[in-house]
Amino acid sequence: MRSTVPYSLWRSTLAGATTVIDLAVANLLFLADAVWDLPTLLADKSAAGVWVRIVTPETPAGPVTGLGDVFPSLLAVPGLRLSTHPGLRADVLRADDDLLVTMPIDGLTPALAPVLHLRRLGSAPMVGGYLATLDHLYPDPARLLAPAGGGRVTHLPVPTAAVTDVAAAVGTDPLTLADLLRVANTPGFDRWQEQIRRTGGCSNPIHLMGQTVTRDAKTGDVLYSYSTEQEPGGRLRVACGNRRASRCPACAWTYAGDVYHLIRAGITGDSRMGIPGQIRQHPGVFTTLTAPSFGPVHNRPASGRCRCGTQHTDDDPALGTALDPERYDYAGAVLWNNHAGDLWRRFTIYLRREVAARAGITQTALRETCRVSFGKVAEFQKRGSVHFYAVVRLDGPDGLDAPPPAWATVALLDAAIRAAAARVAVPIPAAGAFPARVLHWGT
């Protein structure tokens, strides 16, 4: 359904067009949210020679009265063919041979309507039917949207010419800046801005639609009610919370910051988190557990020159890739990542045993006198292998509020960590053409 389609797909489809873009759009507000910089994108495409056509409903429903109310700056873009049609219900986005078609269903809100992602291959009768329909939506030149009285009408709070210098100073173009000023002057902008601020700049926020009512269990009186109908665009935006920077840099950054503060609090204490400052006196070791080598890869050594003879830049896509793909142990790398969690689990088991052995006590006695605490973060290296950063700490039997026993020292903990990591082994049985192997931590 449309609400589950990533916003990035709508924009990336349009951005990939090189010949023609068609937008038959019944829901203008959705398009404004899905492709926030649509006027600039289409202006750039038109300037590059892409044929751009837009058709909208002749009598739009709801508070929107026309294309100029949602995208007024599009009326100022030269080269765009803008039109209306009285029978438009579906949303069809075309970029060359790719189409995104929203299929309206009676009784369902547009957000729940299914979306077809189509591509023309050969004769493609289904896609061909949609393309023919798009051509029939532009038959009447009289319905072309033209500025009243001729000239260029923008419906913007200020003309683009008036903000040319300011736009250059902030690193954008006048059309985009003028449109930003329009958005800032629309009703509900403050609430929209609050939503964006609360998502932390999430690049792909989740759009919630619906309502909630809380009633008194005995009387049935309404204690609280909320509906997204009063929100800008009829939706409540919440952060996606994705930890991967490639998916959402803002949420990944927030997660990384949270992890940093949690780890820091585990080392130095933080009264705001209920962690006492005396935790600093507990023995602790910062540990890195990494994968073994699966073959040489392109890197940036201290000497500055890779084994391939190249001085790679920081953003060189070759970094982390195999120097000799024919001999690189790709199977081992995949198995390592798949079993990294088990390697960590076994490490924690062996560590407790090693600590007890070095303290000269049994594991049962260890549990009664000392607690081994962990805080870890898993991260991908350039070569695509998982490695772990961990803070390992010795606390008293009741946790961070209790002092550790006298025998608990940094030297003992360090030796136990090294011994435990060396003991870890995860046997992998043979599978097809791949022989059996044993996974270990790297050195």
pLDDT in tens, 300-331: 888 778 888 888 888 888 889 999 999 999 99
HSE, side-chain direction, 13 A CA sphere, residue 437:
15
Residue 148 is predicted with a pLDDT of: 37
| Dihedral sign (CA 195, 197, 198, 204) | positive
Question: And the tokens for 119?
Answer: 């591509």
Q: 404, 282 in Cβ contact below 8 A?
A: yes
- Answer whether residue 155 shows pLDDT above 50: no
What's the rounded Cα separation, in Å, for the pair 321 and 310?
14
With a cut of 80, say whether residue 125 has pLDDT above it: no
Highest mean pLDDT of the ranges 24-33, 181-190, 282-291, 393-402: 282-291
| pLDDT band with cut points at 50, 70 and 90 for residue 360 | very high
Least confident of 21-35, 159-173, 229-243, 252-266: 159-173
Residue 181 in this model has a pLDDT that exceeds 80: no
CA pair distance 176, 179, nearest whole angstrom: 5
Answer with the residue of higher pLDDT: 11 or 265: 11
Task: Assess contact for 94 and 21: CB atoms under 8 A.
Answer: yes
pLDDT digits (tens, 9 = 90+) for 78-117: 777 777 777 677 788 888 888 898 887 777 777 778 888 8
| Token code pair at residue 118 | 């189509």
Residue 284 backbone dihedrals phi, psi, to 5 degrees: -145, 150
Q: Is the pLDDT of residue 60 over 60?
A: no
d(CA 258, CA 260): 5
Compute the distance between CA of residue 363 and CA of residue 148 in angstroms, rounded to an integer. Answer: 86
Longest dimension (CA), the chain: 94
Residue with structure tokens 């765009």?
80
Q: CA-to-CA distance for 209 and 198, rounded, in angstroms? A: 17
In this prediction, residue 388 carries a pLDDT of 92
Q: Distance between CA 248 and CA 152 in Å, rounded? A: 38
Cα distance between residue 95 and residue 25, in whole Å: 14
The whole-chain average pLDDT of the chain stands at 82
Candidate from 120-124, 173-177, 219-223 with smallest mean pLDDT = 120-124
Q: Which tokens in the block code for residue 308?
A: 């391939």
Q: Count CB-CB contacts under 10 A for residue 348.
A: 15
pLDDT at 140: 43
Write the single-letter amino acid at 7. Y
Mean pLDDT of the region 22-47: 82
